[in-house]
Structures are given as structure tokens and as C-alpha cells.
Amino acid sequence: MRCVASFVLLLASGTAYAAVGVPVAFATLAKGAVSGVAGPAQIVVRNPVDWASLWARHTRFLTAPPPLPAVDFSADMVVALYLGERPSGGYGVEITRIERTDAGLSIRYRATKPYPGAMQTQALTHPFHMVKLPRADDPVTFILETPAS
């Protein structure tokens, strides 16, 4: 009987933690090295007014800016990550994984830099990655992934 009670307790505790570390699907809206957002930023957008404002800021230096990507904010939200100004090409940022945890959403990302001695574009760049994911009103935490040794 004690074994059955322990098993039931284990099952109950497993369902209580089912939402911890659950992967969240996301889709890239835009990614690249040219942005009007000059400084480093981690931005969460949950409404169309803020989205239009961010997109206008992001595309302000483009001579033919692409149209605002459609986002249904009743179902989705946007997360944007900007590295800020970099001295050359070869820098990048990528959102690699999003998880729902007890504390909210965890946005994991990787930042890259040029290999020493590699030929790169000699121009200022502003690496960014913008993604769409299912709407959540939970707090959002950004976590930089460090390369494996």
C-alpha cells in the first residue's frame, strides 16, 4: 500500500511540474545584420501599436523597407533581440530555444563573433533576430548560451 501511495504522489508531482521547461514553438520574422535599432536591446511586443513602432524603428535606414510582418496579437507575440552596433560583419545573434517555465518564458540565444583572421565586411553592423511565438503574459527572461568548451 505504501508503494502505491508513493507512486500516486510521484504521478501527482509530475503533473504539477509538467509546464517546467516545456519547449515553445516559434517562427523567425526577420534576422540579419542591418537594423535601425543601434543599441543592444531585448524587446517583447504584445500589441500592434508597439509592433508597428518597433518595425518602423528597425527599418528606418532601409531605402525600401519590407512591409510590417502580420502578427495576430490575440494569439501571438513578438520577441526581438538586438546585439547593438558592431565594427564589422561576422557578428550575429540567434534565438535558439524558447521554453515555458514556472518563472515565465525563457528565451535562449547565441551570439557569435568573427573568427580571428577571417575576412569580414568592413562596415558597421547591427545583428538582430525577431521571432513570433504563442502569446503569453508571463515574465520573459533572456539567457545567453555559452559555447561548449
Residue 140, classed as helix, strand or coil, is strand
Phi then psi dihedrals of residue 12, to 5 deg: -65, -40
The string of pLDDT tens digits covering residues 75-105 is 999 999 999 999 999 999 999 999 999 999 9
pLDDT of residue 126: 96
The string of pLDDT tens digits covering residues 38-54 is 999 999 999 999 999 99
pLDDT of residue 25: 98
pLDDT mean across residues, the chain: 88
For residues 123-133, average pLDDT: 97
Look up residue 121 and give its amino acid. T
Residue 67 has pLDDT above 90, yes or no: yes
pLDDT of residue 148: 64
Task: Measure the CA–CA gap between 133 and 77, rounded to whole angstroms.
Answer: 6
Phi then psi dihedrals of residue 93, to 5 deg: -145, 140
Residue 114 has pLDDT above 70, yes or no: yes
Terminal alpha carbon distance of the chain: 48
pLDDT of residue 5: 43
Q: What is the residue extent of each domain of the chain?
A: 20-144
Residue with cell 504563442: 134
pTM for the full model? 0.84
Residue 2 has pLDDT above 60, yes or no: no
pLDDT of residue 147: 75
* Widest distance between CA atoms in the chain: 73
